[in-house]
A and B are shown apart, each in its own frame.
Chain A
Amino acid sequence: MRIDCNAFLGAYPWRKVPGTSPDALVQALERTKIDVAWVTHLPSLFWRDPTEGNAWLYETTRKEKRFKPVPTVHPGLAQWEQVVADAANAGAPALRCDPLYLGLEPAGGEMRVLTAACAAARMPLVLAVRLEDGRQRHPNDHVPELPAAAVRALIRSDADVRLLVTHADRAFIEEVHFGSTPEEARRIWWDICWIWGPPEDHLATLLDTIGSERFVFGTGQPLRLPENGIAKLDLLDVSPDKREAIESTNVRELVS
């Protein structure tokens, strides 16, 4: 079983990306033997009201059993609590909020209230550090990357919240993990899509220093090739149990 907890549907505003349709994503899942993909509607991350993409997301994911919806919530807009309730009712495994894309303080009041609401709804909150390499972004794409300090602040802001942070590199993960108490760190999961393999061996190092139970399989597709996540795992010296944990079991722990 392989679950991709970091996938998108829909066009990206800053460059041409192939394979953004539901059918194309299904083909990519088949090609890479991914059984389930948590998907977010990519264009709406850039809309003033990102929740306007959620209806399409629910409708699309209802038609394809391999898709699980991760709707976007904007805690600065009225009635955002209904978005949380809708997600729970729809069986969404998690909610997404990328505060800097929404023009919010990444650990400000709105985010803290959202964090508490997600905790109360027993719904993990997904945040991306970045969507693209900062060196290649469109000249008008000025959204800052999520700071590690914000993740530390959010995990401390509610004792029950669980965070899934995607697109983080080794330095970011180490800063947050070792800058948190063990209890806090146990409530943060990291996807592997931005962590380097050999010869730097950042992923192998993190599995050793932080523990494989903190990592989940995520690709960032279709912005990034999903083959990359699988290649990273194929280059690791890990037991089948640990690999299975990264590919699926740890995600189940995150949503339990």
Chain B
Amino acid sequence: MLVDVHAHFYHQRTPRADWRERNESRLAAGGRIGISVHVASILGSFGLTSPTYFPSPRDVTAGNDALLALQRAHPDRIRGYVCVNPNYSAHARAEIVRGLDAGMIGIKLAASRRADDPLLDPIAALALERRVPVLQHIWQHRRRDWPGQEASDASELCTLARRHPDVAFILAHIGGGGDWLHSLHATGGGDVPNVYVDLSGSGADGGMLEACIESVGVNRLLWGSDITMDTGWAKLRYLETLLSKDDMALVRWKNAARIFPPGAFPTD
């Protein structure tokens, strides 16, 4: 069993003319890697009619609809996060209820609003109510604002996590660029046991996985790929040389099964 907790799919209303090929490629590569379930999100129109990280409510809904359609088309392999823009609070809450009622299993927050902003509190409250995890896009040690996103770093996510200790938060793509050591210091202190680290991202740095295991521990690591499945597979292969079979099972799927709703994955 292998759960990819950080996947993306595309749809027709995005700038990608090759959206079908990219979706097919993910599923085909997933077959080779042995991915049982892709837990995915769609960030609105990915820039076609509103910015990727600041999606309009209309695009949020369209993206979630597209993902629900994919989930219906591949019920054995695709599960969805409801993506929302917290700046539109009422829409975000309604969209979360709609998506979860339709079978989605988590909430995706990209970079529309800083993670420690009070606007995220009602979303976290809803995550608690529905017992679903929140995947938060993270810029590992954001030293400045980057164009096109109001990115958060691990310190800000941890602030939110302390306010909502019973909600599981997933710190996105530790290998996705930026100073991952900063994030591991922020999450590894023991006061935020509800923050999980997703191993996805194009970075496959020597030493990164050892640091993850040392700082956070195997009980809070989740395997994922994001948009580079080759680096995801590389990290999985290397982890197998570092961890016991039982610990690998935690990273591959058991930690995910613990924080996603019961029945989210086939063997639950």
Listed in ascending order, the chain A residues whose CB lies under 8 Å from chain B are: 15-19, 31, 132-133, 135-136, 139, 196-201, 221-225, 227-228, 230-232, 234-235
Query: Contact: A17 with B227, CB < 8 Å?
Result: no
Query: Contact: A225 with B206, CB < 8 Å?
Result: yes
Could you tell me the distance between the alpha carbons of A231 and B231 in the complex, rounded to whole angstroms?
7
Query: Contact: B204 with A15, CB < 8 Å?
Result: no
Query: Contact: A235 with B235, CB < 8 Å?
Result: no
Given contacts A199-B26, A231-B231, 20 further A-B contacts (CB under 8 A): A16-B207, A139-B143, A197-B29, A197-B230, A198-B29, A198-B229, A199-B25, A200-B22, A200-B25, A200-B228, A201-B21, A222-B206, A224-B204, A224-B206, A227-B204, A228-B230, A228-B231, A231-B230, A231-B234, A235-B33
Listed in ascending order, the chain B residues whose CB lies under 8 Å from chain A are: 21-23, 25-26, 28-29, 32-33, 139-140, 143, 177-181, 202-207, 210, 227-231, 233-235, 237-238, 241
Could you tell me the distance between the alpha carbons of A200 and B29 in the complex, rounded to whole angstroms?
11
Q: Is the interface of A mostly helix, strand, loop or mixed?
A: loop
In the complex, what residue of chain A is closest to B226 when comparing beta carbons?
A199
One of B202, B229, B241 near A133 (C-beta < 8 A) = B202
Closest CB in chain B relative to A118 CB, distance in Å: 29
**A residues in contact with B177, CB < 8 Å:** 133, 135-136
Could you tell me the distance between the alpha carbons of A199 and B235 in the complex, rounded to whole angstroms?
17
Could you tell me the distance between the alpha carbons of A198 and B18 in the complex, rounded to whole angstroms?
13
Closest CB in chain A relative to B40 CB, distance in Å: 11
Q: A18-B210, A199-B22, A199-B23 are in contact. Are A136 and B204 (CB under 8 A)?
A: no
Could you tell me the distance between the alpha carbons of A15 and B238 in the complex, rounded to whole angstroms?
20
Closest CB in chain B relative to A166 CB, distance in Å: 15
Q: A198-B25, A199-B22, A199-B25 are in contact. Are A18 and B207 (CB under 8 A)?
A: yes
Query: Contact: A221 with B206, CB < 8 Å?
Result: yes
Query: Contact: B178 with A136, CB < 8 Å?
Result: yes
In the complex, what residue of chain A is closest to B231 when comparing beta carbons?
A228
Could you tell me the distance between the alpha carbons of A230 and B236 in the complex, rounded to whole angstroms?
12
**Can you list the 9 inter-chain pairs with the closest CB atoms, starting with the nearest?**
A197-B230, A135-B177, A198-B29, A228-B234, A227-B234, A199-B26, A231-B233, A199-B25, A222-B206
**A residues in contact with B228, CB < 8 Å:** 196-197, 200
Closest CB in chain A relative to B260 CB, distance in Å: 22
30 residue pairs bridging A and B, Cβ less than 8 Å apart:
A18-B206, A133-B203, A135-B139, A135-B177, A136-B178, A136-B203, A197-B229, A197-B230, A198-B25, A198-B29, A199-B22, A199-B29, A199-B227, A199-B229, A200-B227, A200-B228, A201-B25, A223-B205, A223-B206, A224-B205, A225-B234, A227-B233, A227-B235, A227-B238, A228-B230, A228-B234, A231-B231, A235-B29, A235-B229, A235-B233
Could you tell me the distance between the alpha carbons of A138 and B21 in the complex, rounded to whole angstroms?
37
**A residues in contact with B28, CB < 8 Å:** 198
**B residues in contact with A139, CB < 8 Å:** 143
Query: Contact: B140 with A136, CB < 8 Å?
Result: yes
**B residues in contact with A235, CB < 8 Å:** 29, 32-33, 229-230, 233
In the complex, what residue of chain A is closest to B230 when comparing beta carbons?
A197
Closest CB in chain A relative to B207 CB, distance in Å: 5
